[in-house]
Amino acid sequence: MVLLQMTGLSGAGKTTISGHVKEHLQQLDYKVELIDGDVFRRTLCKDLGFSKEDRCENIRRMGFVADLLTRNDIIVIIAAINPYDEIRQELKDNYGAKTIWVNCAIETLKQRDTKGLYRRAFLPENHPEKINNLTGVNDIFEIPQNADLVLDTGQESVAQSVQKVINFILQTV
Ligand code: ADP
Per-residue model confidence as pLDDT tens digits over 102-153: 999 999 999 999 999 999 999 999 999 999 999 999 999 999 998 999 999 9
Q: Is the pTM of this model over 0.85?
A: yes
What CATH class does 3-105+142-172 carry? alpha beta
Is any atom of ligand 1 closer than 6 Å to the C-beta of 14? yes
Q: How many CB atoms lie within 10 A of CB 152?
A: 17
Question: What is the tens place of the pLDDT at every residue in 8-62?
Answer: 999 999 999 999 999 999 999 999 999 999 999 999 999 999 999 999 999 999 9
Question: What is the tens place of the pLDDT at every residue in 115-129?
Answer: 999 999 999 999 999
Nearest CA to ligand 1 atom 24: 158
Is any atom of ligand 1 closer than 6 Å to the C-beta of 51? no
* Residue 144, pLDDT score: 97
Specify the DSSP element, H or E, that contains 100. Answer: strand 98-103
Q: How far, in Å, CA of 155 to CA of 153, rounded?
A: 5
Q: How far, in Å, CA of 80 to CA of 89, rounded?
A: 15
- Ligand 1 atom index nearest CA of 6: 3
Is any atom of ligand 1 closer than 6 Å to the C-beta of 8? yes
Nearest CA to ligand 1 atom 22: 158
